[in-house]
Amino acid sequence: MPIVMINLLEGRDAARKQALLREVTNAVVRTLGVPPQAVRVLLKEVPPTHWAVGGVSKAETGN
């Protein structure tokens, strides 16, 4: 059973997240030849205050 873990900044709408989950599942199915029911995708949304690049949080940079 493949398990895919995705971390991304919070703030995207439900439709975009659902599209991401669907597309990732489809990619795993095509690549590994497993049924969709065997694929697990875990999506973790991280607040901008907990995500930093170069020591500066995304909340501070605003992007």
Query: pLDDT tens track of the chain, all 63 residues?
Result: 999 999 999 999 999 999 999 999 999 999 999 999 999 999 999 999 999 999 999 999 977
47 is a catalytic site residue: no
| Number of C-beta neighbours around residue 12 at 10 A | 13
Active-site residue, selected from the candidate residues 2, 36, 47, 48: 2
**What is the number of other CB atoms lying within 10 angstroms of the CB of residue 25?**
19
CATH class of 3-61: alpha beta
CA atoms of 53 and 9, how far apart (whole Å): 12
Spell out the domain ranges in the chain: 3-61
pLDDT of amino acid 62:
78
Q: What is the three-class DSSP state of 39?
A: coil
Q: What does pTM read for this prediction?
A: 0.86
